[in-house]
């Protein structure tokens, strides 16, 4: 990756996306500020906090303090009454409250840095990128919630009469968006790798089985996209977090440190003079 302007792409991956906090720390230490950040799912939440001006020390402190109850509360009433017609396994209120505390009542016009958030229109299947011209007036909390709304896990988010879900459904590592909207090289951080096998206990139950299936689909999708890549140069960084579950809340320190280590190593290698 050259020393000029670059676009930072932050993938989804559930709680593994907290590794992106370490990514931003490594960049800040080296004075490397992206000209644009493109985020998907948890990557959009971390990117949104950064673009809204949250200091990285505060971001790290908040990440370490997040607990399961702050994100996941089973939608017991919906599931009991509506059964198979329930919109999702978990309620929207905890994630809404978390996002409000992170980015407040902002639109894309209020941000301190350019940000794009990757979502999918549930009814049309079209990839929709918030933050592009014509899509900057939406509340940031709505766009990020939509980008985090794994189908069946969280309910879709209505914005302007349309219903949106996690951009990972189409492009979990949204490098195509970055190639179209960004400038210069692309630094792409993928935390969705699935190289580490899971135990039977880790895949027990509907939610765990479903999430494991999503992990496999997302990584296969990313591999296919990069195999045929013909866009701007990409520096791909894959922190070693494959062994961490998507919804593991007790390994945040490890995730942040590994995001920092992997990014620092990649930047040091890129800056090393050619032999």
Q: Sorting pLDDT into bands at 50, 70 and 90, what band is 203?
A: low
How confident is the model over 170-195, as pLDDT tens digits? 999 999 999 999 989 999 999 987 66
Q: Are 207 and 189 in contact (CB under 8 A)?
A: no
Mean pLDDT calculated for residue range 128-153: 94
Q: Sorting pLDDT into bands at 50, 70 and 90, what band is 198?
A: low
pLDDT exceeds cutoff 70 at 132: yes
Q: CA–CA distance from 162 to each of 14, 124, 129, 168 (Å)?
A: 24, 9, 13, 18
Q: Are 140 and 107 in contact (CB under 8 A)?
A: yes
Instruction: Please tell me the predicted confidence (pLDDT) of residue 88.
Output: 60
Secondary structure string (H, E, C) spanning 90-123:
ECCHHHHHHHHHHHCCCEHHHCCCCEEEEEEECC
Instruction: Please tell me the predicted confidence (pLDDT) of residue 38.
Output: 98
Instruction: Please tell me the predicted confidence (pLDDT) of residue 193.
Output: 74
How confident is the model over 30-83, as pLDDT tens digits? 999 999 999 999 999 999 999 999 999 999 999 999 887 887 666 555 555 665
Instruction: Please tell me the predicted confidence (pLDDT) of residue 163.
Output: 96
Mean pLDDT calculated for residue range 121-129: 95
Closest Cα to residue 243, out of 190, 209, 207, 194? 194
Q: Are 60 and 28 in contact (CB under 8 A)?
A: no
Mean pLDDT calculated for residue range 102-126: 95
Instruction: Please tell me the predicted confidence (pLDDT) of residue 87.
Output: 60
pLDDT exceeds cutoff 60 at 196: no
Q: Sorting pLDDT into bands at 50, 70 and 90, what band is 248?
A: confident
Q: Are 167 and 150 in contact (CB under 8 A)?
A: no
Contacts with 228 (C-beta within 8 Å, 6 or more apart), sequence order:
none
Instruction: Please tell me the predicted confidence (pLDDT) of residue 59.
Output: 96
Label residue 56 exposed, middle or buried (CB < 10 Å: 0-12, 13-18, 19+): middle
When comparing pLDDT for 92 and 4, which is higher? 4
Residue percentage of the chain with pLDDT more than 70 = 84
Residue percentage of the chain with pLDDT more than 90 = 63
Q: Note the helical H segments in 54-188.
A: 56-65, 76-81, 93-103, 140-148, 168-171, 175-181
pLDDT exceeds cutoff 70 at 205: no
């Amino acid at each position: 990756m050259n020393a000029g302007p670059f676009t930072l792409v932050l993938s989804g991956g559930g709680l593994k996306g907290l590794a992106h906090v370490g990514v931003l720390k490594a960049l800040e230490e080296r004075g490397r500020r992206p000209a644009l950040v493109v985020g998907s799912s948890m990557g959009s939440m971390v990117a949104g906090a950064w673009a809204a001006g949250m200091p990285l020390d505060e971001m790290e402190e908040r990440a370490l303090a997040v607990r399961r109850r702050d994100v996941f509360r089973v939608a017991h009433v919906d599931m009991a009454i509506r059964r198979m017609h329930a919109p999702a396994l978990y309620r929207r209120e905890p994630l809404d409250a978390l996002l409000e505390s992170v980015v407040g009542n902002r639109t894309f016009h209020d941000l301190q840095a350019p940000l794009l958030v990757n979502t999918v229109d549930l009814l049309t299947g079209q990839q929709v990128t918030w933050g592009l011209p014509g899509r900057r007036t939406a509340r940031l909390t709505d766009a990020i919630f939509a980008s985090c709304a794994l189908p069946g896990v969280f309910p879709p988010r209505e914005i302007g009469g349309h219903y949106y879900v996690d951009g990972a459904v189409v492009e979990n590592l949204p490098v195509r968006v970055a190639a179209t909207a960004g400038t210069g090289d692309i630094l792409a951080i993928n935390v969705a790798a699935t190289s580490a096998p899971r135990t039977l206990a880790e895949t027990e139950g509907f939610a765990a089985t479903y999430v494991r299936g999503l992990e496999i689909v997302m990584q296969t999708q990313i591999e296919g996209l990069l195999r045929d890549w013909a866009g701007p140069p990409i520096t791909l960084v894959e922190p070693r977090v494959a062994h961490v579950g998507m919804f593991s809340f007790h390994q945040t320190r490890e995730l942040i440190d590994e995001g920092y280590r992997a990014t620092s190593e990649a930047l040091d290698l890129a800056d090393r003079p050619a032999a």
